[in-house]
Amino acid sequence: DIQMTQSPASLSASLGETVTIECRASEDIYNGLAWYQQKPGKSPQLLIYNANSLHTGVPSRFSGSGSGTQYSLKINSLQSEDVASYFCQQYYNYPPTFGGGTKLELK
């Protein structure tokens, strides 16, 4: 199975700040990567697919980048509603596997 390693595990940032979350795959996943946001007590919601494509309805302050084994999610101008956990997931190979998550809080 492809291992997905996310960093940091937790993050504290101020409103308006830019935040970056990293995800490393144990092998090349050829941009087969998604990012999900999970607010407390809610289900995950797709933000980014194919490493850098924004899902329908997702604010443009979210963006994804990367290639090979290294990917990142950037949130520009952090808003209060962005407080959540964020997960990366590879779907290049079965089984699909997720990163351990990053919990984002407001400073």
Partner 1 sequence: EVQLVESGGGLVQPGRSMKLSCAASGFTFNNYDMAWVCQAPKKGLEWVATISYDGSSTYYRDSVKGRFTISRDNAKSTLYLQMDSLRSEDTATYYCARHYYDGTYYYFDYWGQGVMVTVSS
Total residues contacting partner 1 (rule CB under 8 A)? 23
Contacting residues for 85 by C-beta, under 8 A, at least 6 apart: 37, 38, 101, 102, 103, 104
Given 12, 50, 65, 67, the residue binding partner 1 (CB under 8 A): 50
Question: Does the protein bind partner 1 through residue 80 (CB under 8 A)?
Answer: no
Query: What would the two tokens of residue 12 be?
Result: 């504290």
Considering only residues 85 to 104 of the shown chain, the ones binding partner 1 according to CB under 8 A are: 87, 89, 91-92, 94-101
Cα dihedral sign, 8-87-84-58:
positive
Token readout for 89 is 């997931």
Chain residues binding partner 1 by CB under 8 A are 32, 34, 36, 42-46, 49-50, 55, 87, 89, 91-92, 94-101
